[in-house]
């Protein structure tokens, strides 16, 4: 089986014109892999009718704050705080407090 990184580099999205063929190609991937591949491609997001709610559903968490700077991260279902700290380029910087979740 081809690894995802190899798969990304071999497909040239601009050359494929049919939405049917594109959906057929992506049918072999699970939902999380598909979302990671089309996160920066608006044409593919329109074909699959994906929006921010789908990304939140897969990650099961949401952030309140800025891309760079301070922010908080919560679990969707329980609204429990799991991280409070700094973000750089949309990712945790490490300067913050991570909370453990006891189910």
DSSP SS3 for 51: coil
pLDDT in tens, 51-100: 888 888 888 888 898 888 899 999 988 889 999 999 988 888 878 898 88
Percent of the chain with pLDDT over 70: 85
Give dist(CA 95, CA 26) in Å, integer: 37
What's the pTM value of the predicted model, to 2 decimals?
A: 0.59
Confidence of residue 10 (pLDDT cuts 50, 70, 90): low
**Pairwise CA distance, residues 89 & 91, whole Å:** 6
Q: What span, in angstroms and rounded, lies between the C-alpha atoms of 14 and 74?
A: 37
Q: Please give the angle made by the CA atoms of 93, 95 and 96, to the nearest 5 degrees.
A: 110
- Every domain of the chain and the residues it spans: 4-51, 60-98
């Amino acid at each position: 089986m081809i690894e995802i990184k190899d798969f990304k580099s071999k497909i040239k999205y601009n050359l494929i014109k049919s939405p049917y063929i594109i959906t057929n190609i992506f049918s072999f991937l699970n939902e999380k892999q598909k979302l990671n591949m089309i996160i920066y491609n608006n044409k593919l997001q329109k074909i699959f009718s994906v929006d921010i709610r789908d990304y939140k559903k897969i990650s099961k968490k949401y952030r309140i704050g800025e891309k760079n700077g301070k922010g908080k991260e919560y679990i969707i279902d329980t609204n429990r705080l799991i991280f409070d700290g700094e973000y750089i380029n949309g990712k945790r910087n490490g300067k913050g407090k991570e909370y453990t979740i006891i189910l």
